Amino acid sequence: MKQKFFILLWLIVFGSTCHQIKGIVPSPSPTLDDTERLKMALAYFQSEKYQEALNLFHQLDKEYQLNPRYRAYIGLCHYQLWNYAEACNYLDSVSSALQVLAPAEQAVYYYANAESHFLLKEYQESITYFEMFLNVCHANEKADAYYRLGFCYLYQHHWLTAYEYFSSALSYYRQFGVTQQKRQRLVQLPKMLRGCRKHLEIVTETVQLSDSSHISIQRIL
pLDDT (tens digit, 9 = 90+) per residue, 184-215? 999 999 999 999 999 998 766 655 545 444 43
Distance CA 204, CA 207 (A): 5
| CATH code, domain with 153 | 1.25.40.10
- Collect all residues with Cβ–Cβ distance below 8 Å to 7 and sequence separation of at least 6: 104, 108
pTM equals: 0.81
- Collect all residues with Cβ–Cβ distance below 8 Å to 162 and sequence separation of at least 6: 150, 151, 152, 153, 154, 192, 196
Distance CA 123, CA 208 (A): 30
Which residue range(s) make up the domain with 103? Answer: 2-220
For residue 13, is pLDDT > 50?
Answer: no
Task: Give the model's pLDDT for residue 8.
Answer: 55
Please choose, from the candidates 145, 54, 63, the residue with its C-alpha nearest in 3D space to the C-alpha of residue 107. Answer: 145
Task: Give the model's pLDDT for residue 108.
Answer: 96
Q: Mean pLDDT, to the nearest integer, of 24-53? A: 77
* Residue 156 identity: Q
Q: What is the mean pLDDT of the chain?
A: 84
Q: Mean pLDDT, to the nearest integer, of 1-9? A: 53
Distance CA 21, CA 87 (A): 20
Q: Mean pLDDT, to the nearest integer, of 78-90? A: 98
For residue 221, is pLDDT > 70?
Answer: no
Q: Mean pLDDT, to the nearest integer, of 107-120? A: 98
- Collect all residues with Cβ–Cβ distance below 8 Å to 196 and sequence separation of at least 6: 154, 159, 160, 162, 163, 166
Counts of helices then strands in the chain (DSSP H, E):
10, 0
- Residue 135 or residue 10, greater confidence: 135
Distance CA 127, CA 116 (A): 11
pLDDT (tens digit, 9 = 90+) per residue, 140-188? 999 999 999 999 999 999 999 999 999 999 999 999 999 999 999 999 9
Torsion (CA) 122, 149, 9, 94 in degrees, nearest 10: -40
Per the structure, the count of domains in the chain is 1
Name the DSSP class of 82: T
Please choose, from the candidates 127, 197, 185, the residue with its C-alpha nearest in 3D space to the C-alpha of residue 156. Answer: 127
Distance CA 90, CA 100 (A): 17
Question: What CA–CA distances, in Å, run from 140 to 9, 102, 146, 193?
Answer: 21, 18, 11, 21
Instruction: Return the percentage of the chain with pLDDT > 90, whole number.
Output: 67
Length of the chain equals 221
